[in-house]
């Protein structure tokens, strides 16, 4: 096994905000090509919106939070939900605070619950107090835009569209979508991976990994009980597909006349060279996704315990460079498994085999 070329970071990572969406551009692009306005109009509006926001990656993120902000109860979530009223002005109207009872709006309740499920996994499993590790308040906005077919993390808050109703349902429905987007915030505050090419695919994959673990933890599922799907229950009735992505079998999540066929590769043999989507960050994330699934399946039990702990150790350990490649990340997970569980442990063996199986490390 080659030595990792990643250098140890000796200074805290800057927190550069990245506009991260759950529905990738290749899906929306396929829909935008349709001759039917009912399909292409929401997709084109969503694509135009997302492209505009990706060019506005200005100082929204952690720096926008005053460092003196009260964080006394950092071991408990501090959630606020806003309603955009189908406009695109953020954050919208405040409609729900941490101490409020259930809302009459199901989207508000789901957003509140999803923020809480994410907070709970990170605190109870990894001892992390909110996404920044210091009790950062969690904000979300629902009912964003008109038939907006996406959800995103903008460096400061979670934002949910209602979907168009024909292909996508309300984006507050899948808890793993909420966990995925908030995990972009965790990455932002830790490794701060560049959102480009392999480091960007790692950024996306880490969000899928912990998004799936958040769902599994909420349902108390073992690795063999989990569906390993990202965005299950998001696709509307009649769509030929299960979810946006499959970690168990990348490339099989959907095969639909409107959406097209899931193009994610599972191994380096299918690695996609493209200039689109920041170098294919949503496509090539299937490779590290599949590696994590293989590790978790080999170890069995609750995936957030050993497999998740190894990934978390690498994400937060200070050795993961912003421009890390797949091999860098793989080698760091091998080292983390050895450090925490020993070189002769099943964990170390499972990690080495998984990265070899997907073609990132040599056998």
In the chain, % helix, strand, coil (3-state, to 5) comes to 40, 10, 50
Paired tokens of 110: 């789901």
The average pLDDT across 85-113 equals: 97
pLDDT at 131 over 70: yes
Strand 138-142 and strand 79-83: the pairing is parallel
Cα–Cα separations (whole angstroms), residue 188 to 97, 271, 323, 352:
25, 25, 13, 27
Where is average pLDDT lowest: 2-11, 66-75, 329-338?
A: 2-11
Between helices 346-357 and 307-316, what is the axis angle to 10°? 80
Predicted TM-score (pTM) of the model is 0.90
pLDDT band at 55 (very low <50, low <70, confident <90, very high): low
pLDDT at 9 over 70: no
pLDDT score at 18: 64
Query: How far apart (Å, rounded) are the C-alpha atoms in residues 75 and 129?
Result: 6
Catalytic residues: 181, 282
Higher-pLDDT residue of 138 and 16 is: 138
3-state SS class at 167: coil
Query: How far apart (Å, rounded) are the C-alpha atoms in residues 236 and 125?
Result: 33
pLDDT band at 19 (very low <50, low <70, confident <90, very high): confident
pLDDT score at 85: 97
Check: CB of residue 174 under 8 Å from CB of residue 110.
no
| Helices (H) then strands (E): counts for the chain | 10, 10
Burial of 20 (0-12, 13-18, 19+ CB in 10 A): buried
pLDDT at 214 over 90: yes
Ordered by where they begin, the domains of the chain are 20-189 (3.10.170.10), 197-357 (1.10.390.10)
Higher-pLDDT residue of 150 and 50 is: 150
């Amino acid at each position: 096994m080659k030595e990792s070329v990643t250098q140890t970071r000796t200074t805290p990572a800057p927190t550069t905000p990245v506009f991260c969406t759950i529905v990738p551009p290749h899906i929306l692009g396929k829909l935008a090509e349709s001759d039917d306005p009912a399909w292409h109009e929401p997709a084109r509006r969503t694509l135009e919106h997302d492209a505009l926001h990706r060019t506005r990656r200005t100082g929204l993120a952690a720096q926008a939070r005053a460092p003196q902000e009260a964080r006394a109860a950092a071991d408990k979530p501090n959630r606020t939900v806003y309603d955009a009223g189908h406009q695109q002005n953020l954050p919208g109207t405040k409609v729900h605070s941490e101490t409020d009872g259930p809302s009459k709006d199901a989207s508000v309740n789901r957003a509140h619950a999803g923020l809480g499920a994410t907070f709970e996994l990170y605190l109870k499993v990894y001892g992390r107090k909110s996404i920044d590790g210091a009790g950062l308040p969690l904000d979300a906005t629902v009912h964003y835009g008109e038939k907006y077919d996406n959800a995103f993390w903008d460096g400061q808050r979670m934002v949910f569209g209602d979907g168009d109703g024909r292909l996508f349902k309300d984006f507050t429905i899948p808890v793993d979508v909420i966990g995925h987007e908030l995990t972009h915030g965790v990455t932002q505050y830790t490794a701060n991976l560049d959102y480009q090419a392999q480091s960007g695919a790692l950024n996306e994959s880490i969000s899928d990994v912990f998004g799936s673990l958040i769902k599994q933890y909420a349902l108390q599922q073992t690795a063999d009980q989990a569906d390993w799907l990202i965005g299950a229950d998001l696709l509307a009735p009649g769509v030929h597909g299960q979810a946006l992505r499959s970690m168990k079998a990348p490339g099989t999540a959907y095969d639909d006349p409107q959406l097209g066929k899931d193009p994610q590769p599972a191994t380096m043999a299918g690695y996609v060279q493209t200039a689109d989507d920041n170098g294919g960050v949503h496509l090539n994330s299937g490779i590290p996704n599949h590696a994590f699934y293989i590790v978790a399946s080999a170890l069995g039990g609750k995936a957030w315990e050993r497999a998740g702990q190894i990934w978390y150790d690498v994400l937060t350990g200070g050795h993961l460079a912003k421009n890390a490649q797949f091999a860098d990340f793989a080698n760091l997970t091998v080292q983390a498994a050895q450090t925490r569980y020993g070189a002769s442990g099943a964990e170390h063996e499972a990690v080495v085999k998984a990265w070899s199986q997907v073609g990132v490390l040599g056998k």
